[in-house]
C-alpha cells in the first residue's frame, strides 16, 4: 500500500541487466517494497524508456516524488561517451543518488538489520508478493552463497546465477543501505523544489498589510524628512502674534525662535 506524501525510492542496478525495484519508506521507518521492474539483456536508457517510465507514469504512482538509489559504480563515465549512468538517469528525468558503499558486507548487514527488527508489532521490511515475485524467490533461497569444490562457502553470493536473482537482490541492498543508514530524510530534502526568497520590493501589500519598504525607499524618506526639518524654522507664527493686541503667552519654542530672529 502506497503512503501518500512520502517519496518513492527506486533501487537501480546497472549493466546489461538493469533491474529496478520500487520501494518506499513510511512514517514508521518501515521499508515497503511495492514492485519490481525487470530488465534483461537491455541497456539502461532502453530499459527506462520501455519498462520503468510506463510503470512510473501509471495511475498507481502519479503524484509521488521519485528518486533512484543506484550502484556506486554508475558514477564512472563510459568508454565511448562522457556520460555516466547517473547522468543518463538525470537526463531522463529521474533524480539519482549513489548508494553509500558497494561493499557486500555492509549491504548484507543492512538487509539483515531490517529483517531482524520489528516496528509496532510487525516486520520492518515488507515485500509485496504480487508486485515482486522474483525478489520473494531470491529471498527464499535463490540468492545464496555457493560452494567451492572443497565444500567451503564463497565469500560473496553468486553473481553469475542462471536465474538472475543477484540483480533484484542488489537493488534491495542499495535501498536498505539508505533506509538503515538514515539517509532518506536528506534525500527527501533534496527532492523538494527550492523556493526563491521573496525580496522586500517584490512583496505585495494586502488590505491588512503595510507595503514593504526597501533600502532605496528608506533613503528617500530620510532625505525628505531632512529637507522638511530644514524648512521648519521659517514659520509664520511670530509675525501674526506680533500684530495681535494685548499680552500673549508665547510657547517656549516660539520665544526661542523670536529671540534668535531679533538677534
- The verdict on 138 and 261 lying in the same domain is no
* pLDDT for 237: 45
- The verdict on 153 and 239 lying in the same domain is no
- The answer to whether the CB of 146 falls within 8 A of the CB of 139 is no
* pLDDT for 202: 46
Q: In whole angstroms, what separates CA 41 from the centre of its chain?
A: 32
- The verdict on 155 and 260 lying in the same domain is no
207 found inside a domain: no
**All three cell numbers of 63:** 503524484
- The answer to whether the CB of 125 falls within 8 A of the CB of 115 is yes
- The verdict on 172 and 256 lying in the same domain is no
* pLDDT for 35: 95
How far is the CA of 252 from the CAs of 94, 163, 203, in angstroms? 78, 103, 45
- The verdict on 38 and 119 lying in the same domain is yes
- The verdict on 142 and 80 lying in the same domain is yes
* Strand-pair category, 125-127 with 31-37: parallel
**Span 58-75, pLDDT tens digits:** 999 988 999 999 999 999
**Span 131-140, pLDDT tens digits:** 999 999 999 9
- The verdict on 78 and 168 lying in the same domain is yes
- The answer to whether the CB of 69 falls within 8 A of the CB of 171 is no
**214: enclosing H helix or E strand:** none
- The verdict on 62 and 134 lying in the same domain is yes
251 found inside a domain: yes
- The verdict on 69 and 147 lying in the same domain is yes
Phi–psi pair at 115, nearest 5 degrees: -70, -30
- The verdict on 257 and 167 lying in the same domain is no
- The answer to whether the CB of 147 falls within 8 A of the CB of 153 is yes
pTM above 0.75, yes or no: no
Domain residues for the domain of 35 are: 8-182
- The verdict on 77 and 160 lying in the same domain is yes
Grouping H, G, I as helix, E, B as strand and the rest as coil, residue 210 is coil
Domain boundary among 156, 182, 208: 182
Rg (CA), the chain: 36
76 found inside a domain: yes
Q: Which residues contact 137 (CB under 8 A, 6 or more apart)?
A: 163, 165
- The verdict on 169 and 239 lying in the same domain is no
* pLDDT for 156: 74
Residues of the chain where predicted confidence (pLDDT) is lower than 70: 158, 160, 193-263
CATH of the domain at 12: 3.30.420.280
Domain boundary among 163, 182, 201: 182
Grouping H, G, I as helix, E, B as strand and the rest as coil, residue 45 is helix
- The answer to whether the CB of 57 falls within 8 A of the CB of 1 is no
Tally the domains of the chain. Answer: 2
Amino acid at each position: 500500500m502506497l503512503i501518500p506524501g512520502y517519496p518513492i525510492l527506486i533501487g537501480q542496478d546497472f549493466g546489461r541487466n538493469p533491474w529496478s525495484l520500487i520501494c518506499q519508506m513510511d512514517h514508521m521507518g518501515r521499508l515497503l517494497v511495492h514492485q519490481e521492474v525487470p530488465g534483461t539483456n537491455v541497456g539502461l536508457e532502453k530499459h527506462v524508456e520501455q519498462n520503468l517510465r510506463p510503470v512510473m507514469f501509471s495511475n498507481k504512482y502519479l503524484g509521488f516524488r521519485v528518486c533512484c538509489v543506484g550502484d556506486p559504480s554508475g558514477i564512472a563515465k563510459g568508454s565511448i561517451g562522457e556520460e555516466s549512468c547517473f547522468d543518463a538517469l538525470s537526463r531522463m528525468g529521474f533524480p539519482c543518488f549513489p548508494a553509500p558503499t558497494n561493499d557486500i558486507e555492509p549491504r548484507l548487514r543492512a538487509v539483515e538489520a531490517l529483517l531482524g527488527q520489528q516496528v509496532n508489532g510487525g516486520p520492518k521490511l515488507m515485500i509485496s508478493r504480487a508486485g515482486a515475485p522474483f525478489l520473494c524467490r531470491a529471498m527464499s533461497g535463490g540468492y545464496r552463497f555457493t560452494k567451492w569444490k572443497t565444500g567451503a562457502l564463497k565469500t560473496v553470493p553468486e553473481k553469475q546465477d542462471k536465474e538472475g536473482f543477484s540483480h533484484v537482490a542488489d537493488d534491495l541492498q542499495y535501498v536498505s543501505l539508505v533506509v538503515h543508514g538514515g539517509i532518506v530524510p536528506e534525500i527527501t530534502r533534496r527532492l523538494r523544489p527550492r523556493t526563491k526568497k521573496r525580496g522586500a520590493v517584490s512583496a505585495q501589500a494586502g488590505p491588512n498589510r503595510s507595503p514593504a519598504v526597501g533600502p532605496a525607499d528608506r533613503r528617500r524618506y530620510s532625505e525628505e524628512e531632512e529637507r522638511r526639518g530644514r524648512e521648519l524654522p521659517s514659520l509664520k507664527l511670530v509675525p501674526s502674534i506680533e500684530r495681535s493686541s494685548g499680552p500673549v503667552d508665547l510657547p517656549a519654542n516660539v520665544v526661542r525662535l523670536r529671540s534668535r530672529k531679533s538677534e
